[in-house]
Amino acid sequence: MKTRTWLYGALLLASGALAYWVTGCAPSSEEVKLLNVSYDPTRELYEEVKTAFAKSWKEQSGEAVAVKTMHDGSGKQARKVIEGFEADVVTLALAYDIDAIRQKAGLLAKDWQSRLPHNSCPYTSTIIFLVRRGNPKHIQDWGDLLKPDVQVVTPNPKTSGGARWNYLAAWGYVLKRELGSFDKLKDPQAAEEVARANEKARDFLKQLFDPKKTPVLDTGARSATITFKNGIGDVFLAWENEAYLVLQESGKGKYEIVVPSISILAEPPVAVVDKVVDKHGTRKEAEAFLKFLYTPEGQTMAARHFYRPCDPKGVPEELLKQFRPVEMFRIDEVFGGWAKAQKEHFDDGGIYDQIKGT
């Protein structure tokens, strides 16, 4: 059986070659590897930052560095880091998610948010509406979302940071509408009025997150974008950066942006994960990576991907002009900070769970 022997020989050789290719060591290079765990819509931004930072760091220190960024819903990513996913840096959608990593896994120093300028937020954003061409359902403001024939797309507040900003922006809108001014929140004499306004807001959110109104709750902002692009819903409550990216990518005329009367200032912070960089010996590179985001080059990149730069001095004027003026309130001013907002609204048994009836 000569042919058979040949056949077996060839098979053995082929599987040997395959095994060599599969297990063969990856090109063992001298480069330092950094893992950046980020939220869903930052893919394009960090793809560009990665290359620019590698170049700048090479010039500065002579060292080659490769930054790998993983993306998903912000809350989901935080949980993964808590469970042991060894991120050197985290660039998440909201401060609470990084704080949760500190509280539940003790991986960061307590003062993490004051270690970098602007509360460790190199860029900010806000929540606006993306509607289909010609705005056929005439959606102008938050109130229009509750019209019976309007379907809404938002990701899931349990897993997505953008969705939590959506939720809080809507809540703030109702408070502002009912109270006229956020100053009343601090006024003890208006306590009763504030309680009534909060009740109204809760009712608004209950209607907004009704399964008939919001049939799909994706895990992250990018998944929600794809859902909206696939034809579901009349309005997409989107990160400003994500909405502009959709406009840019799908050409003119398919979608339109609607700026509501008021929205929330969304502050996505960044942080070095102390315990991990100390274990990997990558603190120097990780800190340089985050600082790079604050350089004029990093800020320009953020603006080019439609994130509002925190330090616009070195950013070309035409990039700054693309941001439409939006009236924004801050989470500290209306909700008393993320820790409180998270506990009241999004933790298990919180208001979000209550209005969803779980």
Partner 1 sequence: MPSEQPKARKPRRGEAVTEPLWIRCALTAVALGFLGLLLMLPLAAIFVQAFEKGWEAYLAALTDPETIAAIRLTLLVAAVAVPLNTVFGVAAAWAISKFEFPGKNLLTTLIDLPYSVSPVIAGMIFVLLFAPGGWFGPWLEAIHLKIIFAVPGMILATLFVTFPFVARELIPLMQSQGIEEEEAARALGAGGWQIFWRVTLPNIKWGLLYGIILCNARCMGEFGAVSVVSGVALTLTLQVESLYKQNMTAAFAVASLLTLLGVVTLVLKSLLEWKIPKQTAEEAMGYCGD
CB of 69 to partner 1, least distance (A): 10
Q: Which stretch binds partner 1 (CB under 8 A): 67-75, 236-244, 285-293, 312-320?
A: 67-75
Supply angle C-alpha 186, 192, 198, rounded to 5.
Answer: 75
Between residue 27 and residue 56, which ones bind partner 1 under the rule CB under 8 A?
Answer: 35, 40, 43-44
Judge residue 122's burial from the number of C-beta atoms within 10 Å of its C-beta, 0-12 exposed, 13-18 middle, 19 or more buried.
buried
Between residue 205 and residue 234, which ones bind partner 1 under the rule CB under 8 A?
Answer: 222-223, 226
Q: Which stretch binds partner 1 (CB under 8 A): 19-27, 118-126, 173-181, 338-346?
A: 19-27
Length of the chain: 358
Supply angle C-alpha 110, 185, 196, rounded to 5.
Answer: 120
Between residue 101 and residue 120, which ones bind partner 1 under the rule CB under 8 A?
Answer: 105
Containing 95, the helix (H) or strand (E) segment is helix 95-105
Closest CA to 219 of 61, 45, 31, 78: 78
Among 2, 5, 25, 26, binds partner 1 (CB under 8 A): 26
Question: What would the x/- binding string for partner 1 be over residues 68 to 97, using CB under 8 A?
Answer: x-xx--------x-xxxxx-----------
Closest CA to 235 of 219, 221, 214, 218: 214
CB of 176 to partner 1, least distance (A): 34
Cα torsion 212, 218, 221, 226: sign:
negative
DSSP 308-346: EES-GGGS-HHHHHTSPP--EE-HHHHHS-HHHHIIIII
Q: Which is nearer to partner 1, 86 or 274 (CB)?
A: 86
Q: Which is nearer to partner 1, 40 or 99 (CB)?
A: 40
Q: Which is nearer to partner 1, 86 or 347 (CB)?
A: 86
Among 19, 64, 191, 195, binds partner 1 (CB under 8 A): 19
Contact residues toward partner 1 (CB under 8 A) are 1, 18-19, 21-23, 26, 35, 40, 43-44, 68, 70-71, 80, 82-86, 105, 222-223, 226
